[in-house]
Structure 1
Amino acid sequence: MKSKAWYKKQLKRKPVQITRYTVQAVFLLFSLYIGLQFYQFYEHFVTNGKTPFVERPSAVEGFLPISALVALKVWLTSGDFDVIHPAGLVLLSFFVGAGLLLRKSFCSWICPVGTANELIAWVGRKIFKKNFDMPMWLVWLLTPIKYVLLLFLIGMVIQMDIFSAKSFLVDNYNKVSDVKMLLLFLNISGFTLKFLIVIFILSLLFRNFWCRFLCPYGAIIGLGSIFRMTKIVRNDDSCTDCEMCTKVCPQRLKVHKMEKVTSLNCSACISCVEACPIKDTLNMTVARKKVNKWFVPVTFFVFFFLVIGVAIITGHWNTIITYEEWKQLIPDARYIGH
């Protein structure tokens, strides 16, 4: 059991990481709460009102990336903001936009799947005493997968004409897409279960396997890093090649060998900066200017809550679907689209 003094020492040495782990835990618990609340909302309708009505949490739309992508296309091409799943459009737009300046901060700070991946990797280290590294040829072979998945999704959306895109948004299938997502886990198929087990095992062995190689959501957010506005810069003159930066990197980047960390996989978690024992050897820079290590997370959360607040105030957060419409749609949700 770690002593209180040990935790105080860690907080002093790595305040950003301790804060990040705390924030990750909060958002993971919040996501579970959202899931429970949405299930109670669903139960009310499938039991014909025998269970108490619970307000539908709009934040659940953050788990509907395809619907949000179509909504983003419609918004950018016609100016019409989605009224069916507006919160999904708000969240996707913010995360992609924030990626231009703040890299994949979403992935390292609030994504529940990313947090689960890090927890699984931690369990793997407890079992096997370490997470294993893949040979570089295999990393190169697996890395394109998430971008291929992303291109498939984007291509599917781009080829839709504006009329088809608008029709999709108001179609009953899209209206109950969140319910269908819930049903996927409530009635999990053998294939889905096997897939999840395989991903779990791989994540035990190889840190952040899902995030590094398979997640298209992270891939689209990471595309903003192409512009290299934000990066980690290593001072080769003061570097001692201790490799502490590489050891702590969740994305398994070879930070100690890089002059500048510009990889699309970098999630701006600041782990490497805080792990470095030599002051000013690793620094975060924005537009080529050195910034405090708190700059990225603080900026991310200020704009995150600001954007959500503005969306709520301006009526761009909650769906226009009424109770009566839910009452008609939800009981037959599993059959819609078949």
Structure 2
Amino acid sequence: KKDLVDGKCPEHLKEPEWVEEENYFFRLSKYQERIEKLIETDELRVLPQTRKNEVLSFIRSGLEDFSISRSRQRAKNWGIPVPRDESQIIYTWFDGLNIYQTGVGFGYDENLWQKWWPADVHVIGKGIIRFHAVYWIGMLLSAGLSLPKSIFVHGYIASGGQKMSKSLGNVIDPFEVIQKYGAEALRYYLLREIPAYGDGDFTYERFEQLYNADLANGLGNMVARVAALAERAGEFSVASLQFTDKEIEDVRKYLDEFRFDEAMKLIWSWIADLDRQINDKKPWTLSGPGLFETLTPWVKQINKLGVALQPFMPETAEKILTQFKGPKILSQAPLFPRF
């Protein structure tokens, strides 16, 4: 009852149906202190911090044992029967969470299970945080099994400031977006424009604005300009195009914290800086050794961009790295055609 707002579920805006029946329960209360300590000490990392605080607050309010079965009648005979009690069906969240393990071999392929479990990270929506950060952890502790290392909780994506709804006609079909603009463009929008630690919004107007400004005119135009100049500059020493891991260390740090939006902003700041250098130095007015010397650090920078983009836009990264690996660099079709 304490989770209801004006007697309704705050997410679905519906009043609950009160039912009284006999069920089986999981003794979650037994694991309260252990779960709290795991999360508090970051042995089980919950990100972002606001979600960690939310989970700890829920735990400290007192964990109650929860029902893990439903009567066969109420479940309409659908689901997995409780062993040795055909009158009960296992509650969907109790069996569903275990799919994380059974899906990678638990109970039937020990080698496969050992390869993939424990999970490095669970990526979940904010509406199911308790099931993953509390109930699931209690279940694993009860069974004596390893815990996931991290839980990353993301927000929701609205459409034009409203919840997506078929009745409103504002549902975004990702396949339609991909068909016109490509998967890489959609990846960019979701990673750059949607806050990694909060809720975000999608509109075609904003998508097309970012596509043209950041992809077609930003990254794509800059790569094309340097490639065209490099093509007439001659061959580049592959060694001169190498860079150190330290140069992309900040991107790795953002990845470790699941701050995809901040990582993309950083990478695009490199693109903007390189664009400024090109405009300032006007390399199209140069030739011979002067052109070659001017282009070499830029070609190296583009290789760095290609590596930095690999976790986010793998197809684009591969095209860039293939084109700029040297020694001879040639012009290619635009990475992102203008619309």
TM-score (norm: length of structure 2): 0.20
TM-score (norm: length of structure 1): 0.20
Structure with the largest fraction of helix: 1
Which structure is higher in RCO with an 8 Å CA cutoff and minimum separation 6?
1
Structure with the largest fraction of strand: 2
